[in-house]
A = this chain, B = another copy of it.
Amino acid sequence: MKARVTVTLKNGVLDPQGKAIEGSLGSLGFEGVEGIRQGKVFDLELADRSEAQAKADIEAMCEQLLANTVIENYSIELL
């Protein structure tokens, strides 16, 4: 089964990379870009298991490795 985990910075956490991208878009002539925040996405391929089990497993992976929960939020989507 497939799943997608999206990890984004929490509100209030500075995102210098996002700011740099915003600046670059401005230099390229794109107008009206009011903010950009960059995050990460993980596409997982898991051996078959129940949906509930998959969610629990992926949540544990996020807590332990995929996300830094001090500064990042994560969301899990089973595909």
Provide a sorted-by-A list of 9 A–B residue pairs whose CB atoms are within 8 angstroms: A24-B65, A25-B65, A28-B65, A33-B46, A37-B43, A38-B41, A39-B40, A39-B42, A40-B41
A34 & B21 in contact (Cβ 8 Å cutoff): no
A52 at the B interface (CB under 8 A): no
How many angstroms from the CA of A21 to the CA of B62 in the assembled complex? 11
Q: Which residues of B contact A50 (CB under 8 A)?
A: none
Q: Which residues of B contact A28 (CB under 8 A)?
A: 61, 64-65
Q: Which residues of B contact A6 (CB under 8 A)?
A: 41
- Our pick among B24, B35, B60, B64 for the contact of A44 (Cβ within 8 Å) is B35
B8 & A32 in contact (Cβ 8 Å cutoff): no
